[in-house]
Amino acid sequence: MNWLSLAFAATALSAAVDPISISGRSEVPGFNYDTDKVRGVNLGSWFVLEPYMTPSLFTSFPDNAIPVDEYHLTQELGKDQAKEVLEQHWATWITESDFAQIAGWGFNTVRIPIGYWAFLARDQDPYVQGQEQYLDQALDWARKYNIKVWIDLHGVPGSQNGFDNSGLRDALEWQNPEWSNIQDTYTALSNINQKYAGSDYYDVISGIELVNEPLGPSLDVNKIKEYYEGGYKDVRGQGSQGVIIHDAFLPIGTMNDWLDINDGYWNVVLDHHQYQVFSVGELQRTWDQHIQTACDIGRSYSQENKWRVTGEWSAALTDCSPMLNGVYRGARYDATYQNSQYIGSCANINDVSSWPEDKKQATRRYVEAQMDAYDQGNGWIFWSYKTESTIEWDVRRLIQNGLFPQPLDNRQYPNQCGY
């Protein structure tokens, strides 16, 4: 997952320019991105499994046969058993009490990752369906607790990035011209839009994300652009919700000439994902350097002419969480992955009671700095709401341990960025 360092590098190396005016956009029904800041959490590993977040679904297999992603998990289980296992997971991983808690903590948005296979069954796939009824239930809960929802097409046919978070690891075949993957993606997106991108959901759905994290540096960027244009038209054919496009790990400002208001495209939201743990160089930064980098990213957002939301970020200062880099992969931090240079120990990474006070303070400082930085755009959505055991990526545990502000505007370390 060193791909995420590409996103940082592109951002950090962007030259400073005069701020770009943003005007001429319509208000998304039910949410005004101009006047209201997004304060959100992702509901990760619910409808698209990620082994580091829900390891119990994967580690029940023999040590030498652990599936590396949802594709291989369902393939190994077979349709019937996979449906039974996942139905249990879908029904229990997120419940109404979670939505009540999310609202109680002051968050106003949830981003819900979901794979294409929930809306398009293909004969060649091992995936199982049934997610849609739980998504519908989630929308009812969101409406009840006055929470807005992004529906995020998190995995597409053939994989758009080769990461387990697409459903299929170690493949990058989304744009393969020999297959119908892009057309199948349009079909799945159209099925989403026909149901959810209309007035029946204006009060609760504030955005539909066309695809999560397409790996721009390894794909044909013109084809990504074509897909975004087609996806935009498909959403607009049904409704007026925000159309969310990910930056594809391209430099800040690259998307300024795509889906521009001056060309008649309106209510487009640009999604940035910001992490600093997926390369050795990033991990070698001091805590102060991590914070300064986050502050600089916030400043760079003035170079863009779209609404921009940081749709993923975390409290992680290491890549130590087991399976974060993938099943059978260790961490760069302790040099157990990719022959990395040793930086420090990963021992007890998920036992916050063993953390020294300076690490706790650094984590809280880093979280607060990122919140302030990403508010230089139109808000942020933390990754993620919950995990089984991974504290650096789990806002519930962070709040419970005083490492994430509560209330959200509380600052123990104010004005770190000097905005």
Catalytic residues, which ones?
213, 312
Type and span of the H or E element at 195: helix 181-196
Pair of tokens at residue 163: 């990461």
CA distance between the termini of the chain: 31
Do you find a cis peptide bond into 279, omega within 30 degrees of 0?
Answer: no
Residue 47 is given by DSSP the state B
Task: Give the span between the Cα atoms of 97 and 99, in whole angstroms.
Answer: 5
Angle at the Cα of 402 from the Cα atoms of 400 and 404, rounded to 5 degrees: 95
Task: Give the span between the Cα atoms of 388 and 125, in whole angstroms.
Answer: 27
In degrees rounded to 5, what are phi and psi of residue 112?
-115, 100
Q: Which residue type does 165 have?
A: N
Type and span of the H or E element at 243: strand 242-246
Task: Give the span between the Cα atoms of 83 and 151, in whole angstroms.
Answer: 22
Question: Which residue bears the tokens 């990474």?
Answer: 349
Pair of tokens at residue 415: 């004005």
Report strand pairing: 205-209 vs 38-42: unpaired
